[in-house]
Structure 1
Amino acid sequence: MTRTIQSGLRAGAAVLCLALGGLPDAALATEGYFALGFGPVQRAQGGAGVAHAFDAMSATVNPAAVAGLGTELSMGVEVFAPRRGYEGTATGFVPSGNVQSGRDLFLIPNFALNHRLDGGAVLNFAAYGNGGMNTSYPAGLAGCGSVYCGGPAGVDLSQLFLSATYARQDGNLSWGIAPTLAVQRFEARGLGAFAGISTNPAALTDRGHDTSYGFGLRAGLQYKLSDQLTFGLSGQTKIGMSKFKTYAGLFENGGDFDIPATVTAGLAWKATQDLTVMLDYQKIWYSDVGAIGNANSAGPLGAKGGAGFGWDDVNVVHLGAEWRSSPEMIWRAGYAHASNPVGPEDVTLNIIAPGIVQDHFTFGGSRQLNDRDRLDFSVVYVPRNTVTGPEMTPLGPTGGSVKLKMNQVSVSIGWSRKF
């Protein structure tokens, strides 16, 4: 068994190196900027699963979910293709017409190792991208030449979570706790037009990547109400992150950019021996993080209590189904609907952070290759959503309007081995 752990950790180290190298370019704008799910199984069932366990990656949606699983290694990669942009009408601060962000293709890896201990408990290690946002608007546009008239514009935010979960099952109750290390990277470009409302214009834009670190806690439980029905509950504390000092003139309180708290509750109903239906509700408290939730008009950029992106809290409903059509094949489908965090009054600044998509349609499955190995896959389609509002400059409205636009497609594939 020690050899199993060593092999799994070596594989995890390889995935972790890929994550650290690749996640800084990830653009995970699905539920605001949080990911729909972690791994192809969760994505295929619409992000649902707080009350249902399937693989080692289940610990990322609920630490209690892996309490009844055996020793297993899971890893995979998502090919993510978001299209984000805006349409300006009679605008002057930003170019008019249809403007599209570049860089529409991203690779996002995931890894988890589940190990059953001698006393019946489980230890799980996972590395996954929890959220992020990426936009890249070019120079050479009509009008002043670029978005906000400051050269190539955009942001690059990524979050990598590293968690160690301890879980166990006691009768009908399973519980788990997961101390979690979070790593963020951020870069902003082309925001010089906002220097006049920044407390520190020298630390506002075009400073390259900066990194911050924080530590938080995730915990959860599952309770088997009957042979057919299971209840699940999972939560993550707000994670206080070290400041982005390089961007102290952009983010509230001199560079604060914490990770908001979340909670998810749901049910899994085993309708038949081969069919399980899942329903989850999730809430993300973006408004509790000043850099994200404070209104654009709250005060100078970088000040304590100052301006943010104006995001509201997000509520998400996940619906998923899992059907075993044969001993070798499982099919999944799902749907998720998220409320939109960006209001019409905040569209201009959110050109660089258009996390506005709401509806997610998902499909996928798992193919058992042999007694030990399984192949998982998923496809996610997110139709275009738009939000229209007045164009706002640092000095006030111009009379023009901005329509944010975003849609997404992603394909995931994963491999799991039981030991």
Structure 2
Amino acid sequence: MKSFKLVLAYLLLFASTAGASNGPQYAGYGAQAMGMGGASIANPTDALAAVNNPAGMGMVGSRVDGSLTATAGQLRSDVHGAKNSDDVLVFVPGFGTNYQYRPDVTLGVSVSGYGAGIDYGKPIPAFGTSKVKSELAQMLIAPTATYEFQPGHYLGLSLKLGYESLMLHGLENFGATNDRDHALGVGLGVGYVGTIAPGLRLGLTYSSPVWFQKLDAHEDIIPNGRINMPQQAGLGLAYDSGPWTFAFDYLWIDWSSEKAMANSLTQGGAPGASNGPGFGWRDQNVFRFGMNYHYNDRLQLRTGVSLANHQVPDREATLIAIAPCNQPKSVHLGLTYQLSDELEVTGAYMHDLRHITKGKGASEGVEAGGELHMLTVGLGYKF
């Protein structure tokens, strides 16, 4: 168990602070999916497919994929006249491998990172007396098996093994201690993908919450002492027409069932209690659209967009200054170049459509937002 924690802690060094798209989640996982706005539930392309839909691993064959995403930009906040900014530069790795064990069975594993945080380098008087820095970093390892129960129809199952790290600094006024804590978690993911008409694929997927252990250092301020990853469900369609592929995803993210995220800051209960104060997030409905064009035998070009409602209501904006997850709309570009029959290189770029949250009611006087760019480079090897 100790060695497992050390491996995951090493991986999380790459992903200590970020501002993500849908909570701590990125718009897309896998370099090719990122270039298509994340649209991937019915359009698996590499060995990170299990992050988007476990059944997708049945369609990608034997291969190994690795990627590195660089996130850069500036995040700003104004908390009752205290103006702060953070210049972000974060690197998040992704990895996947898949093996065609039998013609109808694949075995693989996908590794993905999630995170959000801020480092202002100075205190915010409304929050505390020391410099404000927050980090939530999560890593999932998903061993996955698929079964082709009919030609062109696949079922997939993933076991999700999670590691979580939380650090809060400069929040003494909320009762937080300047500590870092860690937790392990577990969940399940299931999925289906299949050809339902010539050229047309349907994908369905569901992930349970990833249930994490208590964060003992923060159990006095976090409802139930836990920050779980929420359950989510999605539907995807993909259509191939000559050199073109068109893909669409709908994803529901159930933030409202996770008390640490869903409870209002003015909930009324004692800090750390089940009905204690939280971030006040609401559920998200994410719509992703993507296109891929096979320009020739070696080059593919793609683009996409991801659109979601903002999960932080204006009346719950107070804590967004330490959890800047408010860039839910983004545009994407990407390409893949086939270096040989076995090796391919992929690049993808994402630009978020800038959103500023302005607090109302109990959050009056708080503003936060910014602008982020993501650049992903990936390598894929087929064997």
* Bin of the TM-score, shorter chain as denominator length: over 0.9
2:127 paired with 1:166: no
Equivalent in 11, 21, 27 of residue 36 of structure 1 = 27
- Report the structure number with the largest CA radius of gyration: 1
Match of 2:107 in 1: 123
Query: What is the distance in 1 between the residues matched to 2:94 and 2:86?
Result: 26
Question: Any conservation in 1 of the 2:349–2:376 contact (CA below 8 Å)?
Answer: yes
How far is the alpha carbon of 1:22 from its aligned partner? 1.9
Question: Any conservation in 1 of the 2:49–2:110 contact (CA below 8 Å)?
Answer: no
Equivalent in 57, 74, 85 of residue 65 of structure 2 = 74
Change (3 A) 1:18 1:324: farther
Match of 1:99 in 2: 84
Q: Secondary structure at the match of 2:295?
A: strand
Equivalent in 305, 312, 316 of residue 282 of structure 2 = 312
Query: What is the distance in 2 between the residues matched to 1:267 and 1:391?
Result: 41
Equivalent in 327, 334, 337 of residue 304 of structure 2 = 334
Equivalent in 228, 245, 250 of residue 216 of structure 2 = 245
Change (3 A) 1:20 1:223: same
Query: What is the distance in 2 between the residues matched to 1:39 and 1:411?
Result: 12
Equivalent in 193, 202, 212 of residue 173 of structure 2 = 193
Q: What letter matches 1:120 in structure 2? A: D
Query: What is the distance in 2 between the residues matched to 1:266 and 1:324?
Result: 21
Query: What is the distance in 1 between the residues matched to 2:248 and 2:59?
Result: 20
Match of 1:55 in 2: 46
Query: What is the distance in 1 between the residues matched to 2:43 and 2:146?
Result: 14
Q: Secondary structure at the match of 1:37?
A: coil
Match of 2:136 in 1: 157
How far is the alpha carbon of 1:28 from its aligned partner? 4.6
Question: Any conservation in 2 of the 1:189–1:205 contact (CA below 8 Å)?
Answer: yes
Alignment deviations for residues 15-49 of structure 1 (CA, whole Å, 9 cap, x no partner): 978524323x1415211221211221111000101
Q: Secondary structure at the match of 1:135?
A: strand
Q: Secondary structure at the match of 1:127?
A: strand
Change (3 A) 1:16 1:157: closer
Task: Note the 1:1-400 alignment, pairs <5 A.
Answer: 19-23=11-15, 25-88=16-79, 91=80, 96=81, 98-102=83-87, 104-118=88-102, 120-129=104-113, 131-139=114-122, 146=125, 148-169=127-148, 170-195=150-175, 204-207=176-179, 209-253=180-224, 255-270=225-240, 272-298=241-267, 299-390=269-360, 392=362
Query: What is the distance in 1 between the residues matched to 2:122 and 2:22?
Result: 29
Query: What is the distance in 1 between the residues matched to 2:324 and 2:90?
Result: 17
Query: What is the distance in 2 between the residues matched to 1:239 and 1:27?
Result: 20
How far is the alpha carbon of 1:147 from its aligned partner? 5.6
Match of 2:4 in 1: none
Match of 1:7 in 2: none
Question: Any conservation in 1 of the 2:33–2:45 contact (CA below 8 Å)?
Answer: no
Query: What is the distance in 2 between the residues matched to 1:408 and 1:302?
Result: 32
Q: Secondary structure at the match of 1:345?
A: helix
Question: Any conservation in 1 of the 2:348–2:375 contact (CA below 8 Å)?
Answer: yes
Question: Any conservation in 2 of the 1:165–1:177 contact (CA below 8 Å)?
Answer: yes
Q: What letter matches 2:152 in structure 1? A: N
Alignment gaps of 5+ in structure 2: 1-6
Q: Secondary structure at the match of 2:256?
A: helix
How far is the alpha carbon of 1:226 from its aligned partner? 1.0
TM normalised by structure 1 equals 0.86
Q: Secondary structure at the match of 1:327?
A: coil
How far is the alpha carbon of 1:119 from its aligned partner? 5.1
Question: Any conservation in 2 of the 1:75–1:109 contact (CA below 8 Å)?
Answer: yes
Query: What is the distance in 2 between the residues matched to 1:391 and 1:226?
Result: 51
Q: Percent of aligned pairs with the same residue?
A: 24
Question: Any conservation in 2 of the 1:138–1:146 contact (CA below 8 Å)?
Answer: no
Match of 1:201 in 2: none
How far is the alpha carbon of 1:383 from its aligned partner? 2.3
Q: Looking at secondary structure, tell me which structure has more strand per residue.
A: 2
Alignment deviations for residues 173-192 of structure 1 (CA, whole Å, 9 cap, x no partner): 11100111011000001111
Q: What letter matches 1:336 in structure 2? A: S
Question: Any conservation in 1 of the 2:76–2:85 contact (CA below 8 Å)?
Answer: yes
Question: Any conservation in 2 of the 1:32–1:314 contact (CA below 8 Å)?
Answer: no
Moved over 4 A (4+): 15-18
* Count of aligned pairs: 375
Q: What letter matches 1:234 in structure 2? A: T
Q: What letter matches 2:99 in structure 1? A: H
